Amino acid sequence: MEVYMSGKIPLVVFYVLLGFSFQENLNEPEKKFQNIYNKRCYQHIVIGGTDIPVRTPEGRNVSEKELEMIKWVIKSDFLVNDDTIGGCDQYYPSVAMDSAGNFVIVWEDKRNGNPDIYGQMFNKDGIPQGSNFRVNDDAGTETQYNPSIAINNGGNFVIVWEDYRNPSTDIYAQIYNADGIPKGTNFKVNDDAGYTGQYFPSIEMDGEGNFVITWHDYRNGNPDIYAQRYDSSGIAQGINFKVNDDPGTSSQYYPSIAMDNSGNFVITWQDYRNGNYDIYAQIYDSVGIAQGINFKVNDDAGTKAQYTPSIVMGTMGNFVITWQDSRNGTFNPDIYAQMYDSLGVIQGTNFKVNDDPGTSSQYYPSIAMDNSGNFVITWHDYRNGNYDIYAQRYNTGGVAQGTNFKVNDDAGTNLQDAPSIAMDNAGKFAIVWEDRRNGNYDIYVQRYNPDGSGEGANLIVNNDTASSYQFYPSIAMNNASKFIITWYDYRNINPDIYAQRYNPNGIPIGANFMVNDDTNATGQEYPSIGINNTGKFVITWHDYRNGNPDIYAQRYDSNGIAQGINFKVNDDPGTSSQYYPSIAMDNSGNFVIVWRDYRNGNYDIYAQRFDSNGVVQGTNFRVNDDAGTSDQDYPSVMMNSESRFVIAWSDKRNGNYDIYAQIYDSIGVAQGTNFRVNDDIGNTRNQYEPSVAMDSAGNFVIVWTDYRNGDLNPDIYGQMFDKDGIPQGSNFRVNDDAGINNQYYPSVAIDPYDSRFVIVWTDFRNPDGDPEIMAQKYEYGSPSGSNIQLNGADLFPYNYQYSSRFSVSCNSNNVVFAWIDNRRHKGWDIYGKLTDWGLTGIEELNPDDILSVYPNPFISSFIVRFSLGKESLVDVSIYDIGGKLVKKRIERFNSGFHTMEIKIEKIPQGIYFVRVNKGGKTITKKVVHIK
């Protein structure tokens, strides 16, 4: 057997192979990779007694330096949480349907940790075409919200949304062909030069694919309605134009747009020009010329409010507007509607849509129409005591067909919200909504025939099974290298505290286990853990089981068996709040817990000591000694083998947040007074989120997030102290980047007996804008080498990692790290890494290495997305499984991100290989062709 290393930076592939995949393939836990360290020979590695040559694809043996890069890893990036239930949240769906009944649903999706826009295509029979796809193409951690979609008769579609990738909220869009292949990249719609906000876009398209986007816009200080026309190629026709014609500074919100096949369109919105919210509208011809002036839609004479309109237009230009209306009661709004002919002449009067006789509430209508002018209105409805989705069918004359009908088919009292509807030429329609029947918000759809009969049952649209969020890992390791990771976990809908035990080789001992023992559906968050040398451990967290947050804890023996039940730590009799605990334990099992406490009307730091049996030693005691009412926050505590401990926290006694600390002896007596840690005297910038580590002799290190170099670019700083609390040197900057990048959430661990420690943090220095886990080792007070990246190379451009304040632990042999990570597209997961003190990191992929091919499988074409560090020729060659060249395309591109659409027709179904040569580097991807 030979192990091959691949690519320009072979250590990345080899590192992942050995630390993760290769180990799993062997399936023999005794073949541990510390053998690499003990038995390595030049150009070979030894695993389980087998001498294995290591070569690159070119045939050369791997160098000593390359082996040095991986020999320190015991277990590479590994998944900690084992949840198989639950999911992350999806919101605000929008649906569009072409003339044949094929439809596309888009929504806001949190599977990658922050909200993205996702979509799913369906054929006319309601069968998903491919899988869920991500729409926004940004690589950073920015958020996207509130999508809207339009589709033409041929199935080409455009998705629009509000996007935070720039310093303010903008409107972005993406064009797709009928196969779901994106045309070009995301593009910005609003053309203002400032940093004002744009929100809640709506889009409509004519039969040829020309489209108009509208939104509400703050460029003038107050929200106005703006719009932008595009031709079928996505070329802007003119500039952004203002829709509302009032001369004042009143507010306009939540536009909706409808368009006929010829391109005539109407925009409607919620308008405050009369001192209360009314529904207004404006008609335009196909070249964007306003026909008349803004007109009021609701016909009530009072001052009750109308909100959130939705509009649909027939093929001949007749249109219907529907909205939420409070004319019958402010707290029980109804759904109303109004019909118009093609000239904008009102047909009849406003009419009420919901037919319930009571005073329940109805909200957020959506409307769709077929080619004959039949239409359906849907909304969410509280008539049953919980929010359901209801709908009502109408014929071309506006006569109700039957009564209101319930859309969601679940039998419980779960929440359904935010419906959207689309209809084909023949009157078939689909309603989508956000649905909480599974505990988290999912997107559901229901299809209907023209007569209103349902086709099948409600169908879930999003495919992110087992994507519950996990947050805020905390780690403890003892001298035997056994370690436990704990975190808070949403797999049961409400956050619980979970933990996982590991042996010294990083092999899990048992499964994840839940720590909190309450049976209520309350929240538990922000755990911290301490362990002694025999393996006994205690986990603490803040807990809402009593209504207000308290500090709770749980003791365990060395086998992970709970000792007694959860116990409350704070001893105040009232309902004040306690948050963010931290715990430290000595070798004998004595421990101390600290937290933020509001019992005195402002946030103080409190603590409680316990003996090794969990018996309380004295009462809760206040740590900060200031006489004022300033706030203290984010405490961290560490204890040495002799039970001496130090507490650090963020403190506002000087007007801005500084880092303070307090030393205690083994019986809990304060040694001196609180002392300030950060030495930037006279600087009014803030310091936050301290973490402290202490060695066996009592020497300690405190690290924190520091804004002394600018309010927009926090750094990581640290300070060393001897056992008497005397600073050793001055504050030192940990991150070694030269730029103005952001660093957050530091954590520190110290070798109990040797003079070395390691600091880990979240770092935004990489050019793609997404955070990585960085670390720095120190020996005898000096940095050993430079900052290194701990997590493996990003698997895609928006692969994020975040650390927490207690996310590293160590002994004299090994170091263990944990962080949250979105690499599986299943929300936030907990990942870990186990190394020895060699602590060598990996290199991140450079821009020339980024490549993706989608959709995969493909039907008739696919997109190759790649990036270039400099201008280069790009050669894309497609081969069949036998190595025969099927297609070749060569183009020159500038540096940056690019896409190429590759159309392949008249080839058999099967497996193909896409080889991309760019700038002298070749990358190959496998694709599958289906019909």
- Per-residue pLDDT tens digits for 566-591: 999 999 988 899 999 999 999 999 99
Which tokens go with 466? 């087992």
Which whole number is the average pLDDT over 313-318? Answer: 95
Distances in whole angstroms, Cα of residue 513 to Cα of each of 82, 176, 393, 804: 10, 45, 50, 21
φ, ψ at 679 (rounded to 5°): -105, 15
Check whether 345 has a pLDDT greater than 70. Answer: yes
Which residue ranges form the domains of the chain, and what is each CATH number?
A: 3-71 (no CATH), 90-460 (2.120.10.30), 853-929 (2.60.40.2550)
- If one counts every other C-beta atom within 10 angstroms of the C-beta of residue 754, the result is 12
Mean pLDDT across the chain, nearest whole number? 89
Which tokens go with 519? 């049976």
Percentage of the chain beyond pLDDT 70 is 90
Q: What is the pLDDT of residues 185-223, one digit of tens each?
A: 999 999 998 889 999 999 999 999 999 999 999 999 999
Query: Which segment of 108-117, 658-667, 918-927 scores lowest on mean pLDDT?
Result: 918-927
Which whole number is the average pLDDT over 735-761? Answer: 94
What pLDDT does 5 receive? 34
Please say whether the beta carbons of 469 and 498 come within 8 A.
no
In three state form, how does the secondary structure of 399-444 look? CEEEEEEECCCCCCCCCEEEEEEEECCCCCEEEEEEECCCCCCEEE
What pLDDT does 49 receive? 44
Check whether 540 has a pLDDT greater than 60. Answer: yes
In three state form, how does the secondary structure of 475-538 look? EEECCCCCEEEEEEECCCCCCEEEEEEECCCCCEEEEEEECCCCCCCCCEEEEEEEECCCCCEE
What does pTM read for this prediction? 0.81
Q: In this predicted model, which residue has the larger pLDDT, 650 or 902? A: 650
Confidence bin at 898 (pLDDT 50/70/90): confident
Q: In this predicted model, which residue has the larger pLDDT, 273 or 13? A: 273
| End-to-end CA separation in angstroms for the chain | 39
What pLDDT does 596 receive? 98
What pLDDT does 29 receive? 31
Please say whether the beta carbons of 130 and 121 come within 8 A.
yes
Check whether 371 has a pLDDT greater than 70. Answer: yes
Calpha distance 342→639 (Å, rounded): 78
